[in-house]
A and B are shown apart, each in its own frame.
Chain A
Amino acid sequence: MKKIEAIIKPFKLDDVKAALTGAGIVGMTVTEVRGFGRQKGHTEMYRGGEYTVDFLPKMKIEIVVPDSLADKVVSLVVGAARTGSIGDGKVFVEPLEEALRIRTGERGDNAV
């Protein structure tokens, strides 16, 4: 199993979700997060004064899939989340040791 973690622009969430559910992915977890990368925040104006917002709002999507699906999911996420401008986000893939469905006790690929 692989855990795919994608940090994306908040307004791209619907596109990514549609792409994944359209490909048969049945579950994901979404968190509102803040952070910065090479973009380094941005400046805003309030009452004539400029200030920097260091931590920009982003969406974090976590998806767990069997190894065979991982590449497909990654390319779907990247395809749906890309705008081409700075701040599009990142995707991380890591191996996952175990998964367990709490209601039934199923384990492994059956649990995701």
Chain B
Amino acid sequence: MKDLGSIARTMPWRIAVAVVVACLLAVGGWVFAQDKPPAPAAPAAPAAAPAPPPSKPDPAGTATGGIADVTAKTAGKPTLEEVADFAGHNRVSINLMWTLLTGFLVMFMQAGFALVETGFTRAKNVAHTMMMNFMIYAIGMTGYWIMGFALHMGGLGAISTMGGTGLLDSEFTISLFGKDFGLFGLKGFFLAGSTYDVAVFALFLFQMVFMDTAATIPTGAMAERWKFSSFVVFGFFLSMFSYPIFANWVWGGGWLSQLGKNFGLGHGHVDFAGSSVVHMVGGVTALAGAMVLGPRIGKYNKDGSANPIPGHNIPMGVLGCFILAFGWFGFNPGSTLAGSDLRISVIAVNTMLASASGAIFAMCYMWLKYGKPDPSMMVNGMLAGLVAITAPCGFVSSFWAFFIGAVSGVLVCWAAVFIETVMRVDDPVGAIAVHGVNGAWGVLSLGLFSDGSYGDGFNGVEGTVRGLFYGGASQFVAQIIGTVTCFVFIFGASWAFFKVYDVVFGMRVSPEVEMEGLDVPEMGVHGYPEIQGPATLVHAMGASMPKTPSMAMAPERSR
């Protein structure tokens, strides 16, 4: 027999399910009703137009789509102008579709970050670590919509592949050495006014998910001790100020991108998909934040030696890495902002090759040096390869892509240990080594190995992009300037923000909270209520459940 309480609990669910099913049926019925009569001729076609070919099934797909599908005043007989118009619209359609779809892939990388960071930290902090990765998506997006996008892209000018965005034409510049130095954009706040435009909106989506990638990197390095309230404020700081300004310098038409035009340094600072703009910004912010926060309790002994603090769930971390590697097929190939730019096949292959060599070389390094191929370091190795190839993916051959990944696989293992034991900065997930160090390696490697097969006219400079080994020494100089600028500006701005916030409000939870785990004190709930200790068990199994006779009577299986 069911008591009234449980009926009351289950009733709304049943009603909800019934409503959903009814809606599905109604929609389905409507769709099928639309499907029944054979499709009439396009209503726009005038009566004089030739009758469209009789519709019949086309299982092979060779007859679907033809001249009749070109929008024309006289259906089936488009003028040359109408054909050209249609071709242009088609090209931009492909490019906008590509930009949006790859943007959706990059959005899913948030899930990868959440799993990697939560898997490599302890069970007592899972709700807190997971929710930082979750909320940065919402917080970052909001900040970027309010003003981040305007500062970042407000002075970009027209992007030929997207058929629009020319209305983003307002860059704040200062004059130095007789040259204009673009500092930040000033158009597109709230995507309002003249930026209410399809091309601008597609660009917003793509750039927003990139910004969010940078924003979610520090949550890993600062995990297990960061006050959630402080994290929320940081989310707005990065999405509204620090990221947009540096990104403007490289991608928004700002001064780093103009080093080539103004000073003859290659094509200016070139970063195809964001080794510096996204990953190094995230990694350097993580470094500043982890330094201000200090190490987790128990990380270092009195003599300065480090204790390993193993993550609680290796499978979670590995799954996260795979999701990130999948999302990277949006990150790098999407950065053409054009599906009609067929270089995307080279970019996609370079991306996967670097991820493979990164993982392999991290495996070998750990195996040879420490006796076992450490799982978390192999994960870091694959991510490091991906981070490093992000800048040069469009400009190098597959050999150099594999090589760049191989270097990053070793570099990340070395850097993670160096940061932990020599710099004594506690980074639970290796975010600084993966994104900061290998982000720098990525943009520098572009200046070394770009082979001159792509990038004609990049940043307004004629000719293709060539690195040091292909006769482009000045390109390498531009890459060094970009890397140093990224470190100095982002580290300075982030460190100042974190330090001031720490002094005024406090960034770190109390030692008691840290020892207990941040989940309940900070978030109000355990991530894993049933395995968090006997006290919680009693609570979960007894106090929180209604004590009704029907529950108590659940009989044992009788034999």
Contacts and interface: CB of A to CB of B under 8 A. Distances in A.
Q: Do A and B bind each other?
A: yes
Interface of A: 44-51
A29 to B, nearest CB: 16
B339 interface: no
A18 to B, nearest CB: 20
Shortest Cβ-Cβ A-B pairs, 9 listed: A49-B308, A46-B308, A46-B310, A51-B308, A48-B417, A48-B370, A45-B372, A47-B376, A45-B370
Interface of B: 306-311, 366, 369-372, 374, 376-377, 413, 416-417, 420, 430
A62 to B, nearest CB: 19
Most chain B CB within a 10 A radius of its CB, from A44, A45, A48, A49: A48
A45 B417 CA distance: 13
Nearest to A50: B308
B307 A47 contact: no
A47 B311 CA distance: 10
Contact of A45 (B309, B374, B416, B430): B374
Most chain A CB within a 10 A radius of its CB, from B306, B307, B308, B413: B308
Contacts of A49: 306-308, 420
Contacts of A46: 308-311, 374, 376
A45 B370 CA distance: 8
A53 B126 CA distance: 22
A48 B310 contact: no
Nearest to B416: A47
A51 B374 CA distance: 14
A45 B371 contact: yes
A49 B418 CA distance: 12
Contacts of A48: 366, 369-370, 374, 377, 413, 416-417
A102 to B, nearest CB: 12
Nearest to B376: A47
A46 B378 CA distance: 12
A47 to B, nearest CB: 6
19 contacts: A44-B310, A45-B371, A46-B309, A46-B310, A46-B376, A47-B308, A47-B374, A47-B377, A47-B416, A48-B366, A48-B369, A48-B377, A48-B416, A49-B306, A49-B307, A49-B308, A49-B420, A51-B307, A51-B308
A47 B371 contact: no
B547 to A, nearest CB: 20
Given A46-B374, A47-B374, A51-B310, 16 more contacts: A45-B308, A46-B308, A46-B310, A46-B311, A46-B376, A47-B377, A47-B416, A48-B370, A48-B377, A48-B413, A48-B417, A49-B308, A49-B420, A50-B308, A51-B307, A51-B308
Nearest to B433: A47
A48 B307 CA distance: 10
Contacts of B370: 45, 48
Contacts of A50: 308
A46 B306 CA distance: 12
Contacts of B307: 49, 51
Nearest to B311: A46
Nearest to B380: A47
Nearest to A46: B308
A49 B237 CA distance: 35
A48 B416 CA distance: 9
Contacts of B413: 48
B553 to A, nearest CB: 15
A47 B413 CA distance: 8
